[in-house]
Amino acid sequence: MKVVILSDVHANLPALEAVLEDVARTAPGAPIWHCGDVVGYGASPNEVVAELQRVGATGVMGNHDLAALGDNVIETFNEGAHAAALWTREVLTAESRSWLRALPKVLEMGSATIVHASLRDPIMEYVVQQEIAEENLRALATPLLFHGHTHIPALWSLQDGVAHATHIGTEAISLRTGSLVNAGSVGQPRDRDPRAAWLLWERDELGAGLGTATWRRVEYNIPAAQEAIDAAGLPDFLASRLDVGR
Ligand code: ZN
């Protein structure tokens, strides 16, 4: 059974559309889970919410979603993120707002837990260091955790009590019990690869193992996303960074 995991779409409609086309080719009909930050930075928050609703995506709240709903987490944002969050607050429809507000911070889906940032701090903690990965892995009650927030694909797993990071390539990687699986970002990748990222989880039909994870990268119409950001009057930096993926 295939499961599609998307994270950090960030109101980038061209990126989401390209990803959903790739999903339709590689995992038609598979359930879609998302790890939050649906909005913020990009110029199409309502369209992205509508698209995720259309495909029946199930997921969690991110720090940018919270900020767009009026939360004071916005005080932790840099200038560009802050400006985008204020803009998003203005343009969100009542329908988008109520869909976002209903997102939980933690979601358990069988053998996997879904959060935006980390298990012990679902909204803000960046899992970028071995120590942080280890503490989260020790607290993990399900075999897997799917998350995002860093905008960088990553896989941490406990081996003999120590957190190891596995190199992410294009091939499928077997998942072991006790893993933090970061889906990367659909709408604003930061690993110097500007293509949209999404994660395909192919579960083991026999139930003996956890199956494999494959990180997919998809080219999309970056100029269209940039033009929408410019037209919305959002900071130039939010458009230009999409070219370089950082
Ligand atoms: Zn994000």
What pLDDT does residue 7 have? 98
What pLDDT does residue 208 have? 66
Residue 181 contacts residue 168 (beta carbons within 8 Å): no
Cα 245 from Cα 178, distance rounded (Å): 29
pTM of the predicted model, to two decimals? 0.97
Q: How far is the CA of 194 from the centre of ligand 1 (A)?
A: 15
Cβ contacts of 71 within 8 Å, gap of 6 or more: none
105-108, Cβ contacts within 8 angstroms, sequence gap of 24 or more: 105/60, 105/61, 106/60, 107/33, 107/58, 107/59, 107/60, 108/142
Strand order across the beta sheet in which 162-165 lies: 107-109, 112-114, 144-147, 179-182, 154-159, 162-165
Residue 170 contacts residue 193 (beta carbons within 8 Å): no
Residue 162's identity, in one-letter code, is V
In terms of DSSP H, where are the helices of the chain? 13-26, 45-54, 63-68, 79-91, 94-101, 130-139, 222-231, 236-244
What pLDDT does residue 121 have? 97
Q: How far is the CA of 149 from the centre of ligand 1 (A)?
A: 5
Residue 48 contacts residue 13 (beta carbons within 8 Å): yes
What pLDDT does residue 207 have? 63
Q: How far is the CA of 238 from the centre of ligand 1 (A)?
A: 12
What pLDDT does residue 27 have? 98
Kindly report, residue by residue over 113-166, the tens digit of the pLDDT.
999 999 999 999 999 999 999 999 999 999 999 999 999 999 999 988 899 999
Q: How far is the CA of 107 from the centre of ligand 1 (A)?
A: 18
Q: How far is the CA of 70 from the centre of ligand 1 (A)?
A: 17
What pLDDT does residue 209 have? 80
Q: How far is the CA of 37 from the centre of ligand 1 (A)?
A: 5
CATH class of 2-206+218-243: alpha beta
Q: How far is the CA of 99 from the centre of ligand 1 (A)?
A: 18
What pLDDT does residue 91 have? 98
Q: How far is the CA of 114 from the centre of ligand 1 (A)?
A: 15
Kindly report, residue by residue over 176-226, the tens digit of the pLDDT.
999 999 999 999 999 999 999 999 999 977 666 899 999 999 999 999 999
Calculate the average pLDDT of the chain.
96
pLDDT > 90 in the chain, percent: 96
